[in-house]
Amino acid sequence: MLFNALPFLLGFLPAAVALHVLVERYRPEWRLGTLVGLSFVFYGLWDVRFAPLLAASVLFNWLAAQLFARTGWRAVVGIAIAADLLLLGVYKYLDFALSLALGAAAPGIGLALPLGISFFTFHHIMYLSDLRAGVAPRFGLARYAAYIAFFPQVLAGPLVRWREMMHQLDERPYRRPDAAARFGRGLALLTIGLAKKVLLGDGIAGAIAPVFAKVTAGAQATGAEAWHAVLGFAFQIYFDFSGYTDMALGIALLFGIVLPENFRAPYRAASLQDFWRRWHITLSRFLRDYLYIPLGGNRHGLSVEVGALFATMTLGGLWHGANLTFLAWGAGHGLGLTAGLFWRRRGWRMPAALGWALTFAFVTLLWVPFRMPTFASALSLYGSLAGLAPWGGGFRTLTLAIAAGAAMLGPVAWDAVWRMRPARLGAAALAALAALLLFKLGDGENYEFVYFQF
């Protein structure tokens, strides 16, 4: 069930919130079980085949945590994490590994990818790693299930650390003095995120998808088409993913849960290092804390730091998809971050405007292998960008200008919502926007969120 689908917005979500409100008011001891039940119903409505897999994953990792807490055997956590990664590998990378090993003769197993498997696997890893390090306590099964399966974040994040959520499960959110204000901010975030997705992300997607399809099919795009498609995709994926995150954070607030921010105007970054502090923030910190630092980080000399940085970003690229193009995308960012590391080590400075221009150009051009399914199609698109094809038509300046203005000059939704003061005019404007979006969803094509495929 998509967040941007009418059955969710007009059916599941209102019913789920109403049930949660009643339970929290009259049977607060049932709140935890209600959140778990609603989360599994939501996941099952998406694809009922994978609800048992999610349940088994939760139970297996919870049992491993209990065994470790009782015995102190560190190997238990290692085995559990290895099993989690093996499950992820079978579903997500088996066909890819077979194709690398056997080439064109490789049999296609064709396992359906359970939605959100990367995200709930990473949640298991974060908790079990912290448990082994002695910084995480042991939790009951229902509480652990609520942490892993909480439906606003189970399909595409954000990646939530246990310490950011567990304590909120004990609260009475609708008895807080700011309960009404937080509920209103949740509705505002939900509406803003939906607007990002429907008005900007989907609007751009409809214009650029034919160009990518054309190049994938073997035709060459004109220079104008290529530049419009590549610049457009940079903004599409931002509005799509940040819009999803805003909706997830807003929905969570309706249930009294504050999830961590995941985007902070990334296209304003003046360096690649700054970009990754602003883009998919929770994934960046996961890669830093659970991969980069264990690989050596910056504590064991420059060569170890460079190796850890490159390996982290390359593996981060592969996490996005079972394709060598994702590997290249991650490796490209690893090389870019390494170049920035050497630049800083030399003590050199760069004007902020030049740093911003180079960062935006680098990130945008590297979206090409992320978006294209093969290196041949990516190289074809790069050729058109470089002027190896006629200029032609198809460059929509107004569309890109609106997208760029919203991404680079507009307020950060998280900040704007938390600074918001109750006002009738503002509430009426948001209500009107929500009504407009619902009408548009009923009339137009409904695109899935880009990151649901990961």
Residue 361 buriedness (CB in 10 A; 0-12 / 13-18 / 19+): exposed
Q: Note whether 189 and 411 are within 8 A (CB).
A: no
Active-site residue among 20, 124, 280, 320?
A: 320
Rg of the Cα atoms in the chain = 23
Q: Which residues contact 91 (CB under 8 A, 6 or more apart)?
A: 111, 112, 113, 114, 117
E strands present in 217-328: none
CA separation for the pair 215, 220 (Å, rounded): 6
Nearest to 23 by CA among 247, 185, 256: 256
Q: CB neighbours of 34 closer than 8 A, spacing ≥ 6?
A: 19, 20, 23
Structure tokens given for 358: 């180079």
d(CA 176, CA 237): 36
Calpha distance 264→411 (Å, rounded): 9
Q: Is 320 a catalytic residue?
A: yes
- Please answer whether residues 131 and 65 qualify as being in contact, where contact means their C-beta atoms are separated by less than 8 angstroms: yes
Q: Decide: residue 218, CB within 10 A, 0-12 exposed, 13-18 middle, 19+ buried.
A: exposed
Catalytic amino acids?
A: 320
